[in-house]
Structure 1
Amino acid sequence: MGCAVSVYRVGGNKKPLKIPLVTVLVPSIRIPVASNIQKPLKGLVPKDLADRLTSLRNQIFLLAEQTDVSAVPELLRALEEYLSLLVGLTDPELGCRELIEFRWKSLDDGQKEICIADAWFELLSVVHMMAMLTLMEANSKLIPDQTVSSESEESTDNIRSAVDLLVKAAGYLQFCLREILVQIPPHIKMKLPVDLQESVIEAAYIQALGQQVSQLKWPPLTHSHSALYDFQGTEMQLASAVGSKNATLSVKRRLACEQLSYFGQAHYCLSTCDNLNGYGKKHLSFIKWKYLEAKAAAYYYHGLITDKGTEPSCHISAVCCFLAAEEILTESKKACLNFCLTLPITRAPAAWGAMKHLNKKIPETAAKKSQMYAYLLEEEKSLNVLPDLPEFELSLKADEYQMPDKDAAWESEKWVIPNQTLKTHLTDDEEDD
């Protein structure tokens, strides 16, 4: 479901008529289910405050059920407003943390519901949902306009927007890891669904970082722009660098190596998670595909740099890199097919950016250089060893998320809870039932 949202409704029940395209995979998505908020809070917080909590939560549910990706900004605003109220329930002085059983359902595993009585669980679910919605929006920015041409390319504006969204999504996930999960006790963590477990959230966080990196300046991709762009995605950064005459081979190699490191870390985090569900396996296959693409690119650019040496060993090492890149590129295409066929079935967009260039250049260069240095390969068989790729210090930075301030209603001097007689309290309970 997660990857389908960029084309279809967020939580709608209609079956998609077409297999959706995926550029940025959305690992999972959960939406709230109607929960009894007012009754547990009766007599503890003002009725209008409980009503606002209920109303906003219901609004989020309805928006998620009935709207498509175009309404994601409205849904994010509602979630942000809800958070400012929700944070008050985590205040230990109020003693409201474990009073409400918050219910959520997954749209990726047959609408299975989970119910946990912990305000921090609700907080985690809300911020995680914000991250997933932001990834959906990023994916939609990179999906070609099918009404124009099947070969239409992503505009620089859309790429920049997608990068900004990836930075923001990474910030949400980082907040989940650093600020929320540490507040949840072990016995509650054991009840969390797979997609809310620490290793899976960390994998999603690193995935977002793998497609975005700290700010670097690049020349414009088209001659119609004179200002420099702030590109923040390794994948998109590399796409920009490939099309830029000012980007050196060293820069291209570094970007490919960085992307390789990010997806390697994400794959490790996800593979250590127990009981991956069906969609978790799809997430893992997506990361493997992107990892292999980055590895092929890294070896190709490392080979080009190595080939500039004057010693025979340099040329032999370069050929080994080119041949390895070609073999890994073939494996990446198989991994892409495996990802697409892993349920739920999706389509990968046509190769774009760096891979559109490398799908052609890697086989051509491997064949050309193998023929050119065939005599060296035959004479110096002892040197036919694949060199190690260089390691670079990673300089990733998410857009740090700050929890909204607690709603003023929690601090209001007018917060007076009227006394109820036993008869009134019992009458209210009957009405609730």
Structure 2
Amino acid sequence: MGCAVSVYKIGGTNKKQMKIPVVTVFAPSIRVPVNSNFHKHLKGIVPKDLIDRLTSFRNQIALLAQQTDVSAAPELLRASEEYLSLVVGLTDQGFLGFRELVDFKWRNVDDGRQEITVADSWFELLSVVHMMAMLTLMEANSKLIPDQTVSSETDESTDNVRCAVDLLVKAAGYLQFCLQEILVHIPPHIKMKLPVDLQENVLEAAYIQALGQGTEMQLASAVQCKNATLSVKRRLACEQLSYFSQAHYCLSTCDNLNGYGKKHLSFIKWKYLEAKAAAYYYHGLITDKGSEPSCHITAVCCFLAAEEILTESKKACLNFCLTGLITRAPIAWGAMKHLNKKIPETAAKKSQMYAYLLEQEKSLEVLPELPEFELSLKADEYQMPDKDAAWESEKWKIPNQTLKTHLTDDDEEDDDDDK
């Protein structure tokens, strides 16, 4: 998983430093480019200096991903932005023959044998922006767990939580761009070959998950804020529940989830249950303020439901940690640090207090529906960098024959010369 490599290396491994990673913000996967040389594919068609730059930036990204830890994510993101401005030229409608020229190879960092090669520049854009999203999620995780090699409590400083929210909505923006602006350009026959983590439903689940986790951070801040009302806390918990419910639906519709996909699904289920427990708890507190006996009965039902769901969430957390590559959940933090104690206490206290009402009005012991709220957290809109000016520097001449045939002919001529 991307979560596993965030402990020490983005792309490489170091057995001496191997630790079981702590996960607060989950990065479903991360892929990195395999070194590539554009000269073979673009020689004689694209100016040499432009080919050199394409090759240099891609290899730089591959090298950074292999040799740096998550603290270098900003440098990787900057290099990726510069590379994108070059790659976007290969997708230009004015250069129709360029799109399928280069074989782009990527590999999953958690399984070096899992590689994919696709001759489509839109696939390259998808892969780069997806990598940027995963790096941003990993960076958000590192903000909440500064030293992931040591078992310690999550750093809950206001600045770290605020920074994590900013990174999460930024990651959501990358993933939204993948869905709305890139994936639509990839033909069906290539989509069918895409690895699971680049397929539409999984991308959408990761996008919604990022917003759900951003809302989780907002709830954590609200719990710490003395001025935050119960209504605000309930609304945030219900919004978080909605996000994870949608993400779970997207991911559960995938038929071919691999080990990483199953871990992703188990993470979303864990967070869904936490949000549901919080939502029922805060809804119960608000309902209990009513003066009618039915209000107190409904409140008790909410508290008891929250307690039961909280127990389920702890089991789901353990299942997540043991699924696929082993990870650790952080020590309870944010809203759950508070609710792990308050939910059982309140459920016991209120059920004893209103036991006589429950006995009298058993017909009212029906779990109420939670209120629905408009989802407030939105992804940061991502804009692809402008096409590099080098693509406009001269008039391009596309050979009449297909470019791949042109290159094949060149290779055959080179072979004849060697003979």
Note if contact 1:282-1:339 (Cα within 8 Å) is conserved in structure 2: yes
Structure 1 residues 205 and 117: CA distance shift in structure 2, 3 A: same
User: Counterpart of 1:289 in structure 2: which amino acid?
Assistant: W
2:161 maps to which of 159, 162, 173: 159
Secondary structure of 1:111's match?
Answer: strand
Structure 1 residues 125 and 146: CA distance shift in structure 2, 3 A: closer
User: Counterpart of 1:200 in structure 2: which amino acid?
Assistant: V
User: Counterpart of 1:57 in structure 2: which amino acid?
Assistant: R
Give the distance between the partners of 1:362 and 1:347, measured in 2 at CA: 23
Deviation, 1:162, is 1.1
1:248 aligns with 2:229: yes
Note if contact 2:165-2:218 (Cα within 8 Å) is conserved in structure 1: no
Note if contact 1:145-1:152 (Cα within 8 Å) is conserved in structure 2: no
Aligned to 1:80: 81
Deviation, 1:427, is 7.7
Aligned to 1:55: 56
User: Counterpart of 1:103 in structure 2: which amino acid?
Assistant: K
Give the distance between the partners of 1:99 and 1:318, measured in 2 at CA: 64
**Any idea what the Cα deviations from partners look like across 1:45-101, whole Å, max 9, x if unmatched?**
101111111111111111101111111111111111100000000113221000111
Secondary structure of 1:295's match?
Answer: helix
Deviation, 1:329, is 0.3
Structure holding more helix per residue: 2
Report which stretch shifted further, 239-248 or 120-129: 239-248
Aligned to 1:90: 91
Secondary structure of 2:86's match?
Answer: helix
Give the distance between the partners of 1:302 and 1:375, measured in 2 at CA: 22
Aligned to 1:187: 189
User: Counterpart of 1:13 in structure 2: which amino acid?
Assistant: T
Structure 1 residues 191 and 401: CA distance shift in structure 2, 3 A: same
* RMSD (Å) for aligned C-alpha atoms: 2.3
Aligned to 1:137: 139
> Residues 305-324 of structure 1: matches in 2 within 5 Å?
305-324=286-305
Secondary structure of 1:211's match?
Answer: helix
Give the distance between the partners of 2:57 and 2:319, measured in 1 at CA: 40
Aligned to 1:37: 38
Deviation, 1:198, is 0.3
**Any idea what the Cα deviations from partners look like across 1:80-129, whole Å, max 9, x if unmatched?**
11000000001132210001111111123453111111000001000000
Aligned to 2:199: 197
Give the distance between the partners of 2:206 and 2:410, measured in 1 at CA: 50
Note if contact 2:32-2:106 (Cα within 8 Å) is conserved in structure 1: yes
Note if contact 1:36-1:101 (Cα within 8 Å) is conserved in structure 2: no
Aligned to 1:403: 384
Aligned-residue sequence identity (percent) comes to 84
Secondary structure of 2:107's match?
Answer: strand
Note if contact 1:104-1:113 (Cα within 8 Å) is conserved in structure 2: yes
Deviation, 1:413, is 3.7
1:295 aligns with 2:276: yes
Give the distance between the partners of 2:148 and 2:257, measured in 1 at CA: 33
Structure 1 residues 429 and 307: CA distance shift in structure 2, 3 A: farther
Deviation, 1:425, is 8.6
Deviation, 1:194, is 0.4
Note if contact 1:33-1:105 (Cα within 8 Å) is conserved in structure 2: yes
> Residues 314-393 of structure 1: matches in 2 within 5 Å?
314-393=295-374
User: Counterpart of 2:140 in structure 1: which amino acid?
Assistant: A
Secondary structure of 1:347's match?
Answer: coil
Give the distance between the partners of 1:374 and 1:348, measured in 2 at CA: 36
Name stretches of at least 5 consecutive residues in structure 2 with no aligned partner: 399-408
Aligned to 1:28: 29
Aligned to 2:404: none
Deviation, 1:160, is 1.5
Structure 1 residues 114 and 146: CA distance shift in structure 2, 3 A: closer
Secondary structure of 1:51's match?
Answer: helix
Report which stretch shifted further, 66-75 or 280-289: 66-75
Deviation, 1:394, is 1.4
Structure 1 residues 9 and 308: CA distance shift in structure 2, 3 A: same
Q: What's the TM-score once normalised by structure 2's chain length?
A: 0.93
Report which stretch shifted further, 150-159 or 174-183: 150-159
Aligned to 1:220: none
Structure 1 residues 430 and 270: CA distance shift in structure 2, 3 A: farther
Name stretches of at least 5 consecutive residues in structure 1 with no aligned partner: 213-233, 418-422
User: Counterpart of 1:100 in structure 2: which amino acid?
Assistant: V
Aligned to 1:100: 102
